[in-house]
Structure 1
Amino acid sequence: MIENAKITVKGLVQGVGYRWFADRTARKCEVQGFVENLSDGSVYLEVEGKRTEIEYLIKELHSGPKMSKVEEVVVEWSKPHHLFINFKIKA
């Protein structure tokens, strides 16, 4: 069953390759959606896919790339919108 997750990652997550890390990991998990930087310094993802794959992605997002320092990962689950056909990094 396909699910949707809105994920906000807080901490030192901008300027350290976090979006590229999230992109690689999301593609590995075969989920669709996007990742982008927010003006408050956090990183936001919206993803759709199998719950087990999204849960694995969330686990990996807690680690992040080497130079990052993740303080908090906030997840909001909802019904899928079926708007995504791939995963991309937004500027």
Structure 2
Amino acid sequence: MKTIHLIVHGHIQGVGFRYFAQTTAQSKKVTGWVKNQEDGTVEAVAQGTENQLQSFVHTLRSGNRYARVEEIKVSEADQDQTYAGFKIIR
């Protein structure tokens, strides 16, 4: 199990991107959370196997039909918490 931290840049707020991230995570069996940031980015923490996480990030890069993802910064995160599902934090 691995945990990663993501910061997504682009036109991604107000276009259903968090919901897209949640449904993508659920389909890939990835757990964690996603939330909007005040600076216009979207932040997420995701947990899963290496393959699950790579697939998750790859799909997020394409965005949903209304989003325009310009960049995703991915870094490893501490595994001090285990997530039961994938939640949207408001």
TM-score range, shorter chain: over 0.9
Please state whether the residue corresponding to 2:60 is helix, strand or coil: helix
Match in the other structure for 1:86: 85
- Check conservation: 1:33, 1:84, Cα contact below 8 A: yes
> Which residue pairs with 1:71 in the alignment?
70
- 1:31: Cα distance to partner? 1.1
TM-score normalised to the size of structure 1? Answer: 0.94
Count of aligned positions: 90
The CA distance in 2 between the partners of 1:57 and 1:69, in whole Å, is 16
Letter in structure 1 aligned against 2:84? I
Note the residue ranges of structure 1 that are not aligned, 5 or more in a row: none
CA RMSD of the aligned region, Å? 1.0
Unaligned runs of 5+ in 2: none
In structure 2, how many angstroms separate the alpha carbons of the residues matched to 1:80 and 1:57?
A: 18
Q: Which residue of 2 aligns with 1:51?
A: 50
Counterparts of 2:81 and 2:50 in 1: how far apart (Å)? Answer: 14
Distance 1:66 1:13 in 2: 11
Residues 8 and 73 of structure 1 are in contact (CA less than 8 Å); yes or no, is this contact kept in structure 2?
Answer: yes
Q: CA deviation at 1:79?
A: 4.3
Task: Report the Cα offset of residue 83 of structure 1.
Answer: 2.9
The Cα of 1:82 is off from its aligned counterpart by 3.2
Structure 2 counterpart of 1:32: 31
Q: Does 1:21 align with 2:29?
A: no
- Structure 1 SS opposite 2:51: helix
Distance 1:32 1:69 in 2: 23
